[in-house]
Structure 1
Amino acid sequence: MSEDEEQVSIYDEVEIEDMTFDETLEMYSYPCPCGDKFEIALYDLRDGADIAVCPSCSLMIRVIFEVEDLPKGNEDGGIEKGKEVVVSA
């Protein structure tokens, strides 16, 4: 465990199965005691991140998951950064 990981104060550990997945935003969320939601992006989970943060308070949770169990999506993990998206009417 790195020095940074030792200094992170985790409120709780939550199984990913207990979180809500928004397919449109590709974001997992979980209710925070403050009334908002902890959030972590699918992209971040695939990249090895496991800390979901609440945007309204200082609480954080550790997400317990296996990378191979995450939703597959498309090969490049969604819309590539820097690519122009054309929407026709």
Structure 2
Amino acid sequence: METIYDEIEIEDFTFDPTTQLFQYPCPCGDKFAISIDDMKDGEDIAVCPSCSLMVKVIFEPEDLDEYYDQI
């Protein structure tokens, strides 16, 4: 079973159009990350590559449209 560290609104993430990743600071010092395509496919869990923490991204599918415009 997945243990979710927190739930974060999509607006609190930073989006990098080059890597197409949403990122949010993790308490360990790294960043949670999730790709825009994974989110489009219904995924809502961003993971930290340096530790076991995960956060749930709170968003509606139409929220992604403005970010696709930046790509």
Question: In the aligned structure 2, how far is the partner of 1:43 from the partner of 1:37?
Answer: 18
The alignment yields a C-alpha RMSD, in angstroms, of 1.2
Equivalent of 1:16 in 10, 29, 32: 10
Which structure carries more relative contact order (alpha carbon 8 Å, separation 6+)? 2
> Are 1:43 and 2:41 counterparts?
no
Q: Percent identity?
A: 63
The one-letter code of the counterpart of 1:44 is D
User: Which segments of structure 1 move beyond 3 Å, counting only runs of 4 or more?
Assistant: none
Count of aligned pairs between the two proteins = 68
Which stretches in structure 1 are left out of the alignment for 5+ residues?
A: 1-6, 79-89
State TM-score, norm by structure 2: 0.91
Structure (1 or 2) with the larger CA radius of gyration: 1
Deviation at 1:69?
1.2
Query: Could you list the runs of 5+ residues in structure 2 that have no partner in the other structure?
Result: none
Q: Which amino acid aligns with 1:19?
A: F
As a proportion of its length, which structure holds more strand?
Answer: 2
Which structure has greater helix proportion? 2
Amino acid at match of 2:41: D
